[in-house]
Structure 1
Amino acid sequence: MSEIAFEPLPHLKLKRPSTETVDTWIEAALARVDRMLPQFDTHFPAPSSESNIYAPIDNVEWTNGFWTGMLWLSWEFTGAERYREIAAHNLASFANRIDKRINVDHHDLGFLYTLSSCAGHRLTGDRAARDAGVAAASQLLSRFDPVAKVIQAWGNMNVPAERGRMIIDCNLNLPLLYWATRETGDRRFAAAADQHIEQAARLLVRPDASTFHTYYVDTVSGEPLHGSTHQGFSDDSSWARGQAWGIYGFALAWRHTGNQDYLDLASRLANHFLNRLPADGICCWDLIFTSDADCERDSSAAAIAACGLLELAQALPLSDALRETYEAWAVAIVETLGEKYLAPLEGSNAVLLHAVYHMPNKAGVDEACIWGDYFYLEALMRLRRAWLPYWA
């Protein structure tokens, strides 16, 4: 792996919130989840809101797993059956989706099935959920190109112009493959994940520890072609949510592989991210923007980054000074999200506002995004107690 710059990071003093404080944050978040239950008992929230309202949709989008993941987290927080019952009902929908191949020809199977079926199997022992997760992992494995050594994000695997495209989001889809190897003993799943994350580290991360959103690899020669963006400001900027996927994804890669290079890489990406935050610590939608007046914020990227920082802090040795710094930043981000970005109880059916889904397409700009809601709840879980992430 080539040497990546390591930006110095100003120390932020850690102020660990009390259990009572975190419980207050959790209570406020769960009040918003409860408000969603009647509308999303048999349906799912759309990927992003319109005028801060999620529309109900069927199980057809790449984002549906985040809602089920929120339900599992809510059940773990409280033990309340109302969350478990809806989450368990969701499992049949995910099993049907992979069985009928309903919009599963893409790399986002991890987002869909890690947080629904795999988490459901872990928490309840549901065998059908386990089988659906394995089937989803097999579908994801079918998108691995052995020459390019990447999982193709989107597009027809047989169309040359669409082949060999990887994106940084896939870092969070790889845990599904590692899980499948543990469940089945089939090393092909983990082997594909190992090769993909190695390519992601080599090609998606620039020398200054910023990241490309997407990269193309020649599927005939295996040679790298070029990086670009799909949702960022420009090909040479760093899309904030992509950087957050990188922080969290490379930290998780260390968890799954034990390769120290990935932990070091996650740390470098974290420093790049944290050095480009506005005054309140909530990132703009692209890291080319750094000040309050420049741009729309992306609370969803901030929530992902908070989880990544907490994963990173947990992985670092107790003697590493950055451990406390990363935890301190994560706490500060979560506190600000709860104080300034929480949706009102009236006039919205979301948890967090002020996110950006797809700026170039003008979709979900300054709206709620369901993955932001999920990762905010996950960050709260990580602050509340020792917890094994669903991505583990």
Structure 2
Amino acid sequence: MSGAEPALALADFEAARERLAGIAQETPMERSRYLSGMHGAEVFLKCENLQRTGAYKIRGAYNMLAKLPPEAREPGVVAASAGNHAQGVAFAATALGMPATIFMPVGVALPKLQATRDYGAAVELRGLDFQTALAAALEHVERTGATFVPPYDHRDVIEGQGTVGLEILDQVPDASTVVVPIGGGGLAAGVASAIRLRAAAQGREVRIVGVQAERAASYVPSLAAGEPTTIDALPTIADGIAVARPGALPFAIIRDAVDEVVTVSDDDIARAMIMLLERAKLVVEPSGAVATAAIMTGLVASDGPTVAVLSGGNIDPLFMERVISRGLAASQRYLKVRIALPDRPGQLAIIAQIVSDEQANVVEVLHSQHNAWTSISDVSIDISVTTRGPEHADRVLEALRRAGYEPQVL
């Protein structure tokens, strides 16, 4: 940790935990039989997706606000966010009797907008992106004297997030590896610090693995450079951790306290979300599923109990529908193919019978006579088929080829 500010101590995290008593829930820890069999060691899921407001963010927000002196409370607090941070700040401010104003981009998802208002905050919509909303929030601070609540780059916020780490070691005392999402770094910094301090007091070590979305992995080049580095973050389904530059304080902590940072693809994340829905019966947002995705893709090595932090569960149902389709396709349980057919009656029935004989199911058909890639005497069809996985999908394709067709996987 840089500057004159003292390093975080175990007592700081324990005090934050006392402060959060009755506010943040001690979220469940669930053993995953499926992931344990895949990983070769016991895997547990720390369900912050079941936290109040649907994410861990309430911990850091409340801890910071509860430590504000009386004279800072009257002007209230302000934050800029398009998601979980907004809801955490709104809830914390209302619980402490403080006014809160949250600046959000105009295109924010309706469920997140409504939830933030329902938790008691005044919401101001500004611009089409987060940076515009942030600039408006900072201008509001200058004009009103309200306290700005950053999402991750603040000591008190990190203290609050670190209470997740204390709970992990209470619930899985022999945990050998903890896997945690990283965006700006507040959660990972807090969890890693709290766990290392508690484990050191017990005379042992716990391995900490951070996970980022590969299209917005600012910590990878930053750690290589030895200092926070700005990247061009690309669009990713894990928008909650799509941060172009690490926070200065979280980076200083993560550099020393996190053993390794790995990245996962959008397809990896979608597959993890499908697994959590089907096997664990848990709704987890993309950012919250990256730790599970890292375990599923074999990026996390461990010879003992492993804990994956599911950091949040706030997801728009319409977006969830898209992610499910993406996850099924990535798992080859949803196969879409294009086939050229002779333009004569009965051809579609033949294709449907071939698919049926392989015990797969056609869920959608698009028939066209206007595709340039077919000959003038042919038509094309796009068929969407549900299968049981890669081997079953391959059998369906091979059956079509044996019948003389040339399916193109889309």
TM-score tier (shorter) = under 0.3
TM (norm. structure 2) is 0.25
Tell me which protein shows more helix as a share of its residues.
Answer: 1
Tell me which protein shows more strand as a share of its residues.
Answer: 2
Greater RCO (Cα-Cα under 8 Å, separation 6 or more): 1
Which has the higher Rg, Structure 1 or Structure 2?
A: 2
